[in-house]
Amino acid sequence: MRAILLREHGGPEVLQPADLPVPSPGRHQLLVAVHATSVNPVDIKVRRGGGASRPMPIVLGYDVSGVVKACGPDAGDWQPGQLVFGCPNLFGPGANAEYALLDGRAAARKPASIDHTTAATLPLVALTAWEALHERARLRAGQTVLVHAGAGGVGHVAVQLARLAGCRVLTTAGRPESIAFCRNVLGADEVIDYRSGDFVARAHDLTGGRGLDVVLDTVGDDTFQRSIDCVAPGGQLVTILPSTPGDRAPLLLYRSITVHYEFMGARVANDLEPGRQGAILSSIANLVDRGLLRPHVSAVFPLAQVADAHRQIETGHTVGKLAVTVA
Amino acid sequence: MRAILLREHGGPEVLQPADLPVPSPGRHQLLVAVHATSVNPVDIKVRRGGGASRPMPIVLGYDVSGVVKACGPDAGDWQPGQLVFGCPNLFGPGANAEYALLDGRAAARKPASIDHTTAATLPLVALTAWEALHERARLRAGQTVLVHAGAGGVGHVAVQLARLAGCRVLTTAGRPESIAFCRNVLGADEVIDYRSGDFVARAHDLTGGRGLDVVLDTVGDDTFQRSIDCVAPGGQLVTILPSTPGDRAPLLLYRSITVHYEFMGARVANDLEPGRQGAILSSIANLVDRGLLRPHVSAVFPLAQVADAHRQIETGHTVGKLAVTVA
């Protein structure tokens, strides 16, 4: 099958076409004919050699929308020919290829109202945002939530999910295009322009000095540490990056704050109730089909040009998601 | 009233007798005739000048068992003459004195089956252990929990609460006396002698390589960081100290771990549902009166010798708690 292969770590140019054998589904797996995939920051991280070590060579691409071709014996209630979307195991081969494997328990029926190209942009970011907000922080209506980088991949889904949960949603953005997107397309209650002022002071102003019930950090490092300054006592901070509180740890303690480290890939990799992810993706598909959740695809690349999608993500200026078409 | 006052930071010798006015209860407060108090590590920290800054001079002593003398207008359902136990606001005057103030919402009726001296050793450690295990980690029966320093103040209550919740309880101890206490008095399922081997390796052995559902760290620093190595994917780490994960942050992320920073003083100081602490202390009193929870008092000091109780805590060799009698 056609695939794009990473044989060595490096820049986007290391992504090269290859002809690989079609994989066979394991016990819980589906073999899926990939119609589309997407690019996420984790693709960049793995390509550069960061994060957990993985055996080379590697097929990247951790989102799939496609058609079930074959099912492992314990892959759940699936039939060949069904339309499916989900995330390949982040420690196994991805979907920059004509065929990919999904854990059938962690996958769901593709939303009917959107095409494969759009559906493929959802699984990784929607699972991340849902797990972060609903399973980890357990959002309640009426809470005030700050989602960093609301115009980003995870951010734009998180802002929408938090609004649907009845929360007041603040988000940060820097470029005029991103600010307009957060305000006009996502309908965030407040958009904090982090370039024109300190988001911590603004978050305190916007909460009457109380601070935030929940902060979802998708940026990391300094943004994570400064976020600690605006979480309310008893509040929660969710990060999707390996950030440390550093000298803000005493503040975490005095305010009795909870820090959730959220990595959606942990579930399938560690066999931690992978069926929960199938249920989450079914909920996501329902929200999309009812018009309540809208993924935003800002550009589409053919698989042969996936390196260009990497270059676009690396600008840090992508609004919403980039899709990659395969079939 | 007689009190022991801290006029400057330093060693135990800075604790000096003083004659102070009897305080007046505020809106939510009770004036309590102190029968007994206790010494906790936070007394040592404040005496040395660590932690959050507080105006001097300071009356230490953050536990009370005594008799209600007067009630603020919104202190809850209290009457003078009732027996009460609870924690003074950790950012206000403590109970190394004949009278102290308690937030009436965060206090409860003293357990009937134990005397004031024993009751006074419970509030701070029991609230810490309960909030850590039940409110933050939300223990479930069948989970495996590691409580560090099970022979300590918070530890000896936490081991008992985790057992009552139906968990398998592992604990760490070093001295033969502490190991025997954890095994024979507390009935921990496994006591890990941290002096004779690596607790991380032992915890992995004892869980078939899976790791722990919940770790409660009462030690901090290196113990906190090494604890990250033995939390199961999807598990929880609760700390009562301002520890940082340092270079273990990527492991927190890959395993999707939650870190709870637990400080029982945050609730009254920030008016975060203080009534929850009253309810928790009522539950604690019921467990004590039913013989299910046994505070362990290893020594009793009169108020005039509270400096000796500080010296004893500073050895790090105290089993259970130290009580201080006032009336």
Mean pLDDT of B163-186: 98
* pLDDT, tens digit (0-9, with 9 covering 90-100), for B232-255: 999 999 999 999 999 999 999 999
A176 three-state secondary structure: helix
Return the residue in A154, A214, A256, A263 with the most chain B beta carbons within 10 A, the one to mutate for interface testing: A256
Give the DSSP H/E element, type plus range, for residue A65: strand A64-71
Among A192, A255, A199, which residue's Cα sits nearest to residue A224? A199
φ/ψ of residue A312, rounded to 5: -65, -45
Which pair of tokens denotes residue B228?
Answer: 């990250």
pLDDT reading at A310 higher than 90: yes
Angle at alpha carbon of residue B133, lines to A142 and B223, rounded to 5°: 115
pLDDT at B43: 97
pLDDT at B52: 81
Instruction: Identify which of B254, B255, B262 has the shortest CB distance to residue A256.
Output: B262
pLDDT reading at A154 higher than 90: yes
| Dist. CA B214–CA B154, nearest whole Å | 16
| Dist. CA A285–CA A292, nearest whole Å | 10
A252: distance to nearest CA of chain B, Å?
6
pLDDT at A327: 84
Token pair 């109780």 in the structure block, residue:
B309
- Chain centre to alpha carbon of residue B114: 18
Contacts 24+ apart (CB under 8 A), B287-290: B287/B164, B288/B111, B288/B113, B288/B114, B288/B122, B289/B111, B289/B112, B289/B113
* pLDDT, tens digit (0-9, with 9 covering 90-100), for B96-122: 999 999 999 999 999 999 999 999 999
* pLDDT, tens digit (0-9, with 9 covering 90-100), for A33-70: 999 999 999 999 999 998 888 999 999 999 999 999 99
B294 three-state secondary structure: coil
Which pair of tokens denotes residue A314?
Answer: 């690396």
pLDDT reading at B279 higher than 90: yes
| Dist. CA B264–CA B238, nearest whole Å | 13
Angle at alpha carbon of residue A101, lines to A96 and A103, rounded to 5°: 135
pLDDT at A66: 98
| Dist. CA A164–CA A238, nearest whole Å | 19
| Dist. CA A152–CA A215, nearest whole Å | 15
pLDDT reading at B51 higher than 90: no
Burial of A196 (0-12, 13-18, 19+ CB in 10 A): exposed
* pLDDT, tens digit (0-9, with 9 covering 90-100), for A163-172: 999 999 999 9
**Residue B266 to residues A74, B152, B209, B271, Cα–Cα distance (Å):** 48, 22, 36, 8
| Dist. CA A177–CA A155, nearest whole Å | 15
Mean pLDDT of B64-77: 97
B271: distance to nearest CA of chain A, Å?
9
B321 three-state secondary structure: strand
Instruction: Identify which of B131, B239, B253 has the shortest CB distance to residue A263.
Output: B253
> Quick one: pLDDT band at residue B37, thresholds 50, 70, 90?
very high
Which pair of tokens denotes residue A35?
Answer: 């119609």
Return the residue in B127, B254, B255 with the most chain A beta carbons within 10 A, the one to mutate for interface testing: B254
Return the residue in B42, B134, B256, B277 with the most chain A beta carbons within 10 A, the one to mutate for interface testing: B256
Enumerate residues 6+ apart whose C-beta is below 8 A from A138: none
Which pair of tokens denotes residue A145?
Answer: 């939530």
ipTM of the complex: 0.96
DSSP state letter for A113: T
Query: Which DSSP string corresponds to B216-259?
Result: EESS-THHHHHHHTTEEEEEEEEESS----GGGHHHHHHTT-EE
Q: CATH code for B2-122+272-325?
A: 3.90.180.10
Residue A223's CB is within 10 A of a number of other CB atoms, namely 19
Q: Which residues of A touch B241 (CB under 8 A)?
A: 253
Q: Which residues of B touch A253 (CB under 8 A)?
A: 239-242, 261-263
Residue A299's CB is within 10 A of a number of other CB atoms, namely 15
| Dist. CA B40–CA B60, nearest whole Å | 10
Q: Which CATH class is domain A2-122+265-325?
A: alpha beta
Among A100, A146, A128, A118, which residue's Cα sits nearest to residue A42? A128
Give the strand pairing for B231-239 and B212-217: parallel
Positive or negative: CA dihedral A305, A307, A313, A317: negative
Under 8 Å between Cβ of B19 and B111: no
Mean pLDDT of A192-198: 95
**Which pTM was predicted?**
0.97
> Quick one: pLDDT band at residue A25, thresholds 50, 70, 90?
very high
A165 three-state secondary structure: coil
Task: Match domain A126-261 to its CATH number in 1.10.630.10, 3.40.50.150, 3.10.450.30, 3.40.50.720.
Answer: 3.40.50.720
* pLDDT, tens digit (0-9, with 9 covering 90-100), for A96-151: 999 999 999 999 999 999 999 999 999 999 999 999 999 999 999 999 999 999 99
Nearest CA in chain A to B236: A260
Q: Which residues of A touch B (CB under 8 A)?
A: 51-52, 131, 136, 233-234, 239-246, 249-250, 252-263, 265-267, 269-270, 272
Record: contact B249-A243, CB cut-off 8 A: yes
Q: Which residues of B touch A239 (CB under 8 A)?
A: 253
Under 8 Å between Cβ of A119 and A125: no
Q: Angle of helix B123-130 relative to helix B153-164, nearest 10 degrees?
A: 50
* Domain residue limits, chain B: 2-122+272-325, 126-261
Nearest CA in chain B to A51: B250
Which pair of tokens denotes residue A15?
Answer: 């992504």
Instruction: Identify which of A245, A254, A265 has the shortest CB distance to residue B52.
Output: A254
| Dist. CA B108–CA B105, nearest whole Å | 8
Enumerate residues 6+ apart whose C-beta is below 8 A from A208: none
Contacts 24+ apart (CB under 8 A), B22-25: B22/B98, B22/B99, B23/B93, B23/B99, B23/B100, B23/B101, B24/B70, B25/B70, B25/B71, B25/B72, B25/B75, B25/B101
Record: contact B266-A254, CB cut-off 8 A: yes
pLDDT at B327: 84
Instruction: Identify which of B233, B263, B265 has the shortest CB distance to residue A266.
Output: B233
The mean of the pLDDT values for chain A is 97
Enumerate residues 6+ apart whose C-beta is below 8 A from B218: B147, B148, B149, B152, B154, B155, B158, B240, B241
Under 8 Å between Cβ of A18 and A304: no
Burial code of B270-293, b = ≥16 C-beta within 10 A, e = fewer? bebebebbbebbebbbebbeeeeb
> Quick one: pLDDT band at residue B313, thresholds 50, 70, 90?
very high
pLDDT at A52: 82
Nearest CA in chain B to A258: B260
Mean pLDDT of A82-107: 98
Record: contact A242-B257, CB cut-off 8 A: no
